[in-house]
Chain A
Amino acid sequence: MQLNKWLKQACLAMVLTAGLLSSAHAILPIEKLESFRGAQAFLVQTKALPMVDIEISIDAGDRYDPVLKSGLATVAGQLMNYGAKSNTGLLSEAQIADEIADLGANLTISVGGERAVMRIRTLSRKDLRDRAVQLASGMLSAPTYDAKILVREKQRMTTALLESETKPESVLERRFRKAVYGDYPLANSPSAQSIANINATDLKQFHKQFYRGDRMIVSIVGDVSKAEATEIVQSLLQKVPQSGSPIAKLPEFNRSPIEPLSQRKINIPFDSQQAHIAMGMTAVTRSNPDYFPLLVGNYILGGGGFVSRLMSEVREKRGLAYSVSSYFAPGKDVGIFQAGLQTKNDQATLALEVLSTTITQFIANGPTQTELDAAKANLMNGYPLRIDNNRKLLDNVSSIAWNNLPLDTMDVWTKQVEAVSLEQVKQAFQKYLAMDRMKIVVLGAVNK
């Protein structure tokens, strides 16, 4: 079999080059490709392995769901590989799955709050790569949205949804989102009813409205030249329209208001062994100038693995929880701060108190100089681990492109961490976080 032979040879060549050649290890540059059909495109060339990763980000996330059809964006994304029109005619879901498998390619589609993301990992040999791109192109431009398949997938989603309503972590997360996102559409989660409301026409309509060049970004990492990458982008988007009808503006993302505790705290009675606790509020976007002080500060508060303050107070000193952490989730247009833990029910009150006190003190006083130095040392010394393979490079390029960050973001990242001062961390936490605005969700038997 031809492909088999080629793969064997490729493996041998790879062992020899990747294994034995040394390189200078400069940070690989991001090249901006010519935009096509209104879509921006970016490339990082890396030749050591005969493979290429391609990502298409589409501004078509859950936040565009109509209230009564929550789940629409996700279904529209997920059903693209269950039938599509390609250059060679209509492809069934079985044909698509077989073709992906035959190519030795991987294709995933995920839909998040802000964007839908399609990722393709393929061998870089031209004929295989071309077929993978053709397949993705058909899905992006002409998914079938077969009504019978929709019925099946709606049933599966509903079943999974009902299952998730019995899981403490899912119930907590849904309730927390509702509280923290307020009037912004990401407050909504799909329900059995909202999924039932979705029909094939909705999917076609949604796809037509949102899956267009001016809402897409292509990021490519791997063994292709600039010319080949440009060809990939054009072939990927050949049938995608450049733009379409105007899209209604999303509501403002308002800062979590100051409220008395009784208005901010939600108790969910739940018959589980552990109580689950979430605390958080609206915060910043990725392009916010205070991103780095918050990143460094949160490493100290609850982001830094086993050495954070929360880990020390909750787990190391008191043995209250296995996992406790805090993080900022900065998007392009919205962002939140969230902290949480799980503990056996009779310790829930104590654990919440420790969590609140630790965060309160950090906002009030900021970190110590020793903590700041340790955080910067970790983030700066560890930076090479954030970019040491194709997958991680793709994550970086994709984030830079989606968030409109400068193309030298990876080159200056450690300098930006280094520049963060004690005062900046303290000021940034005081500017964006406040205990009298924090939403608190406590789920567990403690509430019964």
Chain B
Amino acid sequence: MRSTLLRFAFYLILFCPTAWAASGASTSNTHEFQLSNGLKLIVREDHRAPTVAHMVWYRAGSIDEVNGRTGVAHVLEHMMFKGTDKVKSGEFSRLVAAVGGRENAFTSRDYTAYFQQVEKSKLDEVMKLEADRMSNLKFDDAEFLKEIQVVMEERRLRTEDNPSSLLYESLMATAYISSPYRYPVVGWMNDLVNMKASDARDWYGSWYKPNNATVVIAGDVDPKIILQAVEKYYGTASARELPERKPQTEPLQKGIKRVQVKAPADSARLAMAWKVPKLQPGALDDNEPYALELLTAVLDGYDNARLNRKLIKQERVVNDIGVGYDMISRGPELFLISASMAKGKTVEQAENSIRKALKELVDNGILESELKRIKVRILSEQIYKRDSIFGQAMEIGSTEMAGFSWRDIDQMLEKMQTITPAQVQAVAKKYLVDEGLTIAVLDPQARQSSSKQGGNHAAK
């Protein structure tokens, strides 16, 4: 649905479609242009089917928000469907539907993106609409007051009544002191209650400019013709100086932090998050982010990976376990391990088991065969990814938004294949330490449910 909140950013970066080709050949299906108003255009040719994905990415996400107005990036995303000077509220979706299009939008910490997928002859019609709302959005206060209710329902659905989301929200707000990554993308409920139409309009006025946007088009298209159309529709938007983005660098964490969340659930959950480095644009040779990325897969990348095998299958201390890390993003990064408890097991037992498994890896290293297996998977996934043109557009856009070029993807994949077991061991030893650790625990509370009692009046 509209506004999928991408709380965990994508892992698409691993799965490059154009690696290893010589630079001429590898880029021959991808083309980059820049309009005089600063808008960047990237076209990926893929002629397998007569369809096209059209996306516009704005480099404005919850990382750009200020306290008291959290959630405004996402609220504006909703308001983008509420009309322009020429297009009435709701008409955008009707016009996209009329040409058979699929459409949606999503907001993350780093960006807000809008997309349509259409049969290729319909591309101009959706491009015209998308370009129109880049400059001419116009909604009245009444529309805002209705839509903010919808956003609050979205927060109730995805967060208030969802203990895992509540836990994650608390984890982020605890791990970070200064970085805006401490805000939930959907925003705090109280900020939504107090949000004004003018907050959304100010946001739009600040960030929705061609010089803050990247258009990505993938599919059965001719780049020359695409460039003409993009010039025609997006070329009229005027550039404007963007607000200053303060670095808001997170101060160094100096010791373990713990937070507890009580919420209706049956099993306890545990989340352990370590502050770790990420890849910096222009420093693609830094081994550590790649090693951290591979470490996630060594721990949980396949059914017999270390944590799955030891904690779920052998010790049976957790019911499920997951590991996450993104080596590219605009803000600071966490290496996150989260687990739900097995029946009768405590979070202390799970934490001990996780620590034991990490210690074993730090002490004894990993096998060459483990790493090889993961590298093969990365390569084969790269072929599978080509099956979806939408996936290709997503990969290009999210890479660009993190401050990298789609051209860097080749180099990142090459680099990933050169990482050694010793390098993976080294990052585990260096970064998975208590100084930078935040632990969040979900303490389950009983919720009244009818599943064990009456209260209904059904015939059967």
Where the two chains meet, the residues of A that have a C-beta atom closer than 8 Å to any C-beta of B are 1, 3-4, 7-8, 10-12, 14-16, 18-23, 25, 46, 48-51, 81, 93-94, 96-98, 100-106, 121, 123, 152, 155-156, 158-160, 162-163, 165-166, 168, 171, 174-175, 178-179, 182, 259, 262-274, 304-307, 312, 315-323, 342-344, 374, 377-385, 387-391, 443, 447-448
Which of B20, B117, B161, B312 is within 8 Å of A11, CB to CB? B20
Also in contact, A374 and B45, with CB within 8 A (given A100-B303, A381-B119): no
- Most chain B CB inside 10 Å of its own CB: which residue of A178, A273, A387: A273
Chain A hits for B2, CB < 8 A: 306
- Asked whether A272 lies within 8 Å of B383 as measured between CB atoms, the reply is no
- Asked whether B264 lies within 8 Å of A11 as measured between CB atoms, the reply is no
A93 to B267, CA, bound (A): 26
Ranked nearest first, the 6 interchain pairs of A and B with the lowest CB-CB distance are A381-B100, A104-B380, A19-B29, A382-B100, A97-B304, A319-B149
A19 to B386, CA, bound (A): 10
Is B28 interfacial (CB-CB < 8 Å)? yes
- Asked whether A97 lies within 8 Å of B51 as measured between CB atoms, the reply is no
Is B246 interfacial (CB-CB < 8 Å)? no
Which of A25, A271, A316, A377 is within 8 Å of B49, CB to CB? A25
Which of A98, A102, A182, A266 is within 8 Å of B457, CB to CB? A266
Chain B hits for A97, CB < 8 A: 302-304
Which of B47, B102, B459 is within 8 Å of A259, CB to CB? B459
Is B157 interfacial (CB-CB < 8 Å)? yes
A102 to B367, CA, bound (A): 14
**Nearest opposing residue in chain A for B417, CB measure:** A4
**Nearest opposing residue in chain A for B414, CB measure:** A8
A266 to B29, CA, bound (A): 57
B45 to chain A, nearest CB (A): 5
**Nearest opposing residue in chain A for B149, CB measure:** A319
Also in contact, A273 and B379, with CB within 8 A (given A306-B81, A378-B100, A381-B119): no
Is B147 interfacial (CB-CB < 8 Å)? yes
**Nearest opposing residue in chain B for A312, CB measure:** B90
A98 to chain B, nearest CB (A): 5
A25 to B448, CA, bound (A): 55
- Asked whether B47 lies within 8 Å of A21 as measured between CB atoms, the reply is yes
A212 to chain B, nearest CB (A): 27
Interface residues on B, range: 35 or more
What are 13 A-B contacts with C-beta separation under 8 Å? A7-B382, A12-B20, A18-B47, A25-B49, A102-B376, A103-B380, A156-B312, A163-B340, A259-B459, A270-B449, A271-B264, A377-B97, A381-B100
Chain B hits for A342, CB < 8 A: 153, 156-157
A168 to B160, CA, bound (A): 12
A131 to chain B, nearest CB (A): 13
- Asked whether B265 lies within 8 Å of A166 as measured between CB atoms, the reply is yes
- Asked whether A101 lies within 8 Å of B377 as measured between CB atoms, the reply is yes
A130 to B148, CA, bound (A): 55
Also in contact, A162 and B267, with CB within 8 A (given A11-B19, A104-B379, A306-B93): yes
Which of A12, A158, A178, A304 is within 8 Å of B21, CB to CB? A12
A263 to B460, CA, bound (A): 8
Chain B hits for A21, CB < 8 A: 47
A374 to B382, CA, bound (A): 38
- Asked whether B303 lies within 8 Å of A447 as measured between CB atoms, the reply is no
- Asked whether B316 lies within 8 Å of A152 as measured between CB atoms, the reply is yes
**Nearest opposing residue in chain B for A342, CB measure:** B157
**Nearest opposing residue in chain A for B95, CB measure:** A307
A222 to B329, CA, bound (A): 35
- Asked whether A385 lies within 8 Å of B451 as measured between CB atoms, the reply is no
Also in contact, A51 and B379, with CB within 8 A (given A270-B448, A315-B150): no
Which of A22, A162, A305, A377 is within 8 Å of B98, CB to CB? A377
A94 to B312, CA, bound (A): 13
> Residue-by-residue, is B412-432 near A (CB-CB < 8 Å gives 1, otherwise 0)?
000001000000000000000
- Asked whether A18 lies within 8 Å of B48 as measured between CB atoms, the reply is yes
- Asked whether A22 lies within 8 Å of B161 as measured between CB atoms, the reply is no
Chain B hits for A1, CB < 8 A: 372, 376
- Asked whether B313 lies within 8 Å of A152 as measured between CB atoms, the reply is yes
Which of B17, B19, B146, B161 is within 8 Å of A273, CB to CB? B161
**Nearest opposing residue in chain B for A187, CB measure:** B460
B72 to chain A, nearest CB (A): 17
- Asked whether A159 lies within 8 Å of B316 as measured between CB atoms, the reply is no
Also in contact, A274 and B28, with CB within 8 A (given A8-B379, A163-B266): no
- Asked whether B154 lies within 8 Å of A322 as measured between CB atoms, the reply is yes
Chain A hits for B266, CB < 8 A: 159, 162-163, 165-166
